[in-house]
């Protein structure tokens, strides 16, 4: 199941800020914490991956009950891992 989200732009006189908000269901499923640092990895113009450098052990393989298995259409990396970091 996907979660459509709008990209927002706030223009100021001297700068621009782009925002993408996570729906609360996504944030809860991912167990995000306030102030957590994440990293955006650009796979290509159609795929943007959010990497979490400090994920607890075993958290990568956790799935919501009834959720579909992760897609492998974007390469051989595990979901959430940036390209070239698979061991």
- What are 40-50's pLDDT values in tens digits? 999 999 999 99
In a domain, 34, yes or no: yes
Number of domains in the chain: 1
Assigned domain for 59 exists? no
**Helix, strand or coil, per DSSP, at residue 11:** strand
32 domain-assigned: yes
What CA–CA distance (Å, rounded) separates 29 from 24? 8
Q: What is the rounded CA–CA span in Å between residue 50 and residue 24?
A: 16
Q: How far is CA 29 from CA 9, 13, 43, 50, 60, in A?
A: 26, 37, 23, 14, 12
Query: What is the CA 77 to chain-centroid distance, rounded?
Result: 14
pLDDT number for residue 22 = 87
Domain extent for 47: 7-51
Whole-number average pLDDT of the chain: 77
In a domain, 15, yes or no: yes
Residue 31 pLDDT grade (very low, low, confident, very high; cuts 50, 70, 90) = very high
Q: Does any domain span residue 58?
A: no
Per-residue pLDDT tens for 59-77? 555 555 555 554 444 444 4
Q: Look at residue 76 and tell me if it is in a domain.
A: no
Residue 11 inside a domain? The answer is: yes
């Amino acid at each position: 199941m996907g979660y459509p989200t709008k990209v927002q732009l706030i223009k100021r006189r001297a700068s621009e800020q782009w925002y993408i908000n996570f729906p609360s269901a996504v944030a809860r499923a991912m167990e995000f914490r306030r102030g957590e640092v994440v990293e955006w990895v650009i796979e290509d113009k159609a795929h943007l991956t959010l990497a979490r450098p400090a994920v607890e052990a075993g958290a990568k393989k956790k799935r919501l009950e009834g959720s579909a298995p992760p897609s492998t259409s974007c390469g051989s990396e595990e979901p959430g891992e940036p390209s070239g970091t698979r061991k």
